[in-house]
Amino acid sequence: MKKFPKGFLWGSATSAYQVEGGNKNSDWESWQVRAGRAVDHYNRYEEDFDIAASLNQNAHRLSIEWARIEPEKGKFNEQEIDHYRQVLQILRGRGITPLVTLHHFTNPTWVAQRGGWENVDTVGHFASYVRYLVTQLSDLCDFWVTINEPAVYLSQSYLLGQWPPQKRDPRLAFVVGRNLRRGHQVAYQIIHKIQPKAKVGFALSLSYLKTPLGGRIAPWEKIFITRAVDQDFIGVNYYRAVGWTNDLPTSDMGWAIYPSGLYEVLKELKEINLPIYITENGIADAEDDQRADFIADHLAATWRAIDDGADVLGYFHWSLLDNFEWDKGFGPRFGLAEVDYETMARHIRPSAEVYSRIAKRNTLEI
């Protein structure tokens, strides 16, 4: 029996656009692949958080939709603030610590129409949104991710052209990356001015680059990791190995499953000397025949890294619910709870019970 540190956060993750539904002011809602009603989490959040609590989760990562809070430039929607206050109160009332993401890929339509993150003015617009939001919600949350997977956003939207605004321009990708970085830095300063003791960081997609001669963290998001004062923790979103992976099993998305890669990533990050949270780790597995082992094996890798000195303080499984998976639509199934997209009924998968037992005991048998 291997025990995790006292106070370890056991949770799952969602993002607003992928689960809420009914968001008509987002740039994705004018695109050819859209979430629509998603899984109606906007109306069913109490039911969904009851599921999280029943699975012995003491933390939950969620995002807040900028397009709801500020549907028009400079006009903030108090009803939506009230909604998110209720969401956070329900979480806290169930003994679940919220980790709130401020930008998870989507932008308000008015931001997109002004050039999105290509436009340096978006940094200031984002700052205004963050200042308003954190001021309103600081009594309910002090644990923030400013921007989710910035390099994924810029590559999918500005290099591969698979997400809005569907451009393929390395120069623009560089500009977007620079502005996202600035957006994070400004948000970090704003949050700490409002909440000096807040924990603020990025969530970065860190794959393991496997080669015949060894491996390392794949380089594309590592550029956003810093030793500077604008990062209180590192959020790690780890799903797969890339590179020399022909001998590895794969998920429904075709992603190579390699738990040892998570151990190597965490071991490498240890040298930066910042706390680490695994802010996403999960598998597309509609039949639920790989997820239980996936969870146990990745948690074993996490425990090994902790035992070797990595300061890992929490684990958030992706995802609490099946959801809209961006340009892949509703095909991939990542949820601990299966969702019937016709009736919106939730059914807890057997693999979720495996994770629940680990969380309850704070221990892992390896």
* Contact by Cβ (8 Å): 171, 334: no
Tell me the pLDDT band of 125, cut-offs 50, 70 and 90: very high
| Of 127, 265, 236, residue with least CA distance to 185 | 127
Q: 165 lies in which domain range? A: 2-364
* pLDDT for position 154: 94
* pLDDT for position 37: 96
C-alpha distance across the termini of the chain, in Å: 7
Does residue 31 surpass a pLDDT of 90? no
* pLDDT for position 225: 77
280 is catalytic: yes
Question: Could you read off the pLDDT of 139-195 as tens digits, one per residue?
Answer: 999 999 999 999 999 999 999 999 999 999 999 999 999 999 999 999 999 999 999
High-pLDDT (> 90) share of the chain, %: 93
* pLDDT for position 224: 81
Question: Could you read off the pLDDT of 296-340 as tens digits, one per residue?
Answer: 999 999 999 999 999 999 999 999 999 999 999 999 999 999 999
| Of 62, 99, 54, 101, residue with least CA distance to 359 | 54
* pLDDT for position 227: 58
Active-site residue, selected from the candidate residues 280, 287, 325, 338: 280
Chain-wide mean pLDDT for the chain?
A: 96
Q: Strand order of the sheet with strand 214-217?
A: 214-217, 208-211, 241-243
High-pLDDT (> 70) share of the chain, %: 99
Q: What are phi and psi of 209, to 5 degrees?
A: -90, 105
- Partners of 98 in the β-ladder: 60
d(CA 184, CA 186): 6
* pLDDT for position 340: 98
Q: Which amino acid is at 5?
A: P
Query: How many domains are contained in the chain?
Result: 1
d(CA 24, CA 67): 8
* pLDDT for position 228: 61
* pLDDT for position 161: 95
Does residue 366 surpass a pLDDT of 70? no
* pLDDT for position 41: 98
* pLDDT for position 222: 75
| Of 179, 162, 160, 180, residue with least CA distance to 170 | 160
* pLDDT for position 103: 98
Question: Could you read off the pLDDT of 89-106 as tens digits, one per residue?
Answer: 999 999 999 999 999 999
* pLDDT for position 72: 97
d(CA 87, CA 38): 17
Does residue 85 surpass a pLDDT of 90? yes
Question: Could you read off the pLDDT of 212-226 as tens digits, one per residue?
Answer: 888 888 877 777 876
| Of 107, 112, 114, residue with least CA distance to 129 | 107
| 25-34, 42-51, 55-64, 167-176: range with lowest mean pLDDT | 25-34
Tell how far CA 162 is from the center of its chain: 19
CATH number for the domain spanning 327: value is: 3.20.20.80
Q: Which residues contact 325 (CB under 8 A, 6 or more apart)?
A: 18, 284, 331, 332, 334
- Check: pTM over 0.95? Answer yes or no: yes
Question: Could you read off the pLDDT of 262-303 as tens digits, one per residue?
Answer: 999 999 999 999 999 999 999 999 999 999 999 999 999 999
